[in-house]
Amino acid sequence: KNEVEQSPQNLTAQEGEFITINCSYSVGISALHWLQQHPGGGIVSLFMLSSGKKKHGRLIATINIQEKHSSLHITASHPRDSAVYICAVRSLKETSGSRLTFGEGTQLTVNP
């Protein structure tokens, strides 16, 4: 079993729909990242969370440390949101900010 599990693996939505991507992890963490990867390969960091909730535009990320679970929500989805969304965690044991364990990613396709 992977330390970081994401669901769903694939998600197709119609423009305007509310989208939720889930991430569960099995280790104690000091931070969780949500990343976005477009087909060209580059990755953009959307959020870094250690508790609570963060919002940026139409994106909302929440984390429940006790339940070892995080969600990424996209409100009013748009075709340009189509990408792979990746959850990554930093273990409590790590002193380095960059050693992350990644989920397998969620391929999101938003149709017009």
Partner 1 sequence: KAGVTQTPRYLIKTRGQQVTLSCSPISGHRSVSWYQQTPGQGLQFLFEYFSETQRNKGNFPGRFSGRQFSNSRSEMNVSTLELGDSALYLCASSNSRFLGNTIYFGEGSWLTVV
- Residues in contact with partner 1 by CB under 8 A are 30-31, 33, 35, 40-45, 48, 50, 86, 88, 90, 94-105
The answer to whether the CB of 78 falls within 8 A of the CB of 15 is: yes
CB of 11 to partner 1, least distance (A): 17
* 47 Cβ neighbours under 8 A, 6+ residues apart: 33, 34, 54, 56, 59, 61, 72
CB of 16 to partner 1, least distance (A): 29
Q: Residue 72 or 103: which CB sits closer to partner 1? A: 103
Q: Residue 6 or 77: which CB sits closer to partner 1? A: 6
CB of 3 to partner 1, least distance (A): 12
Say how far apart CA 32 and CA 49 lie, in whole Å: 5
Q: Residue 17 or 48: which CB sits closer to partner 1? A: 48
What is the Cβ-side half-sphere exposure of residue 112, based on CA atoms within 13 angstroms? 1
